Amino acid sequence: MASHKEKARELFKSGYNCSQAVFGAFCEEFGLDFETAMKVSSGFGGGMGRMREVCGAVTGMFMAAGLALGYSDNSDPKQKGEIYKKIQDLAKKFKEENGSIICRELLEGIESSTSPEPSLRNESYYKKRPCVELVENAAEIFEKYLYENLEVTKENLGEL
C-alpha cells in the first residue's frame, strides 16, 4: 500500500489540485468516498480558489484532520477547542518545515497568477513550483501526527 505522501503526490501529479491531493490521500480511510472528497476540496486549490491565501495542501490537511478527529455534536464547547488545538499544531509544524502556510509566500519569487484559470500542468510547471513537495509534506505531517499523538498504527488508521 502506498503511503499517504505517495498517494497525495500521485493525485497532484495526475491533475488534482493541492487541497484535493492531500484530502484525497486520507478520505476513504475516514469514511468519505473519493468523489465527494474531490468535490468538497475542489475550491481550495491555489490558496483558496487561486487567491494565494492559505496553501491548499494545508487546507487539505486540515480537512483530513476534521474528518478524522473533528466533532459533529455542538453541545460540548470543549470539543471545538480540541480540534482548534490540533489544527494549530498541524499548522505550526507545516510552517516550521516550510516557512509559511500562505500560498503566495510559499511561491515567492515564482510567477503565480490569481486568475481563476488554472495553470497548465506540464514539466515546466512541476520543475519551478514547490507544490508537489508541499503536498507530500502536508500528507506526511498529518500521517505522523496521527501516529505520534493518537496511538494510531497503520493497522487501525481507518478505525478512529
Q: How far apart are CA 145 and CA 89, in angstroms?
A: 9
- Residue 17 included in any domain: yes
In this structure, is residue 160 part of a structural domain? no
Tens-binned pLDDT, residue by residue, of the chain (160 aa): 579 999 999 999 999 999 999 999 999 999 999 999 999 999 999 999 999 999 999 999 999 999 999 999 999 889 999 999 999 999 999 999 999 999 999 999 887 778 788 887 878 777 788 999 999 999 999 999 988 876 655 555 555 5
Contact status, residue 17 vs residue 25, Cβ threshold 8 Å = no
Look at residue 155 and tell me if it is in a domain: no
As a whole number of angstroms, the distance between CA 142 and CA 157 comes to 12
19, three cell numbers: 487541497
Tally of structural domains, the chain: 1
Domain that holds residue 102: 4-148
> How far from 102 is each of 54, 106, 108, 113, CA to CA, in Å?
4, 6, 10, 14
Q: What is the predicted pLDDT for the residue at 56?
A: 98
User: Is 142 a member of any domain?
Assistant: yes
Q: Is residue 154 part of a domain?
A: no
132 domain residue, yes or no: yes
At 158 the pLDDT is 54
* Total-model pTM: 0.90
Q: What is the pLDDT of residue 83?
A: 94
The pLDDT value recorded for residue 22 is: 98
How high is the pLDDT of residue 113?
77
pLDDT score at 1:
55
pLDDT of residue 151: 62
Query: Are the C-beta atoms of 25 and 4 separated by less than 8 Å?
Result: yes
Say which residues have a Cβ less than 8 Å from residue 129's Cβ, sequence separation at least 6.
Answer: 107, 110, 112
Residue 95 domain flag: yes
Contact 107, 130 (CB under 8 A): yes
Instruction: Give the three cell numbers for residue 80.
Output: 471545538
Residue 42 lies in a domain: yes
**Of 10, 3, 106, nearest in space to 52 by CA:** 106
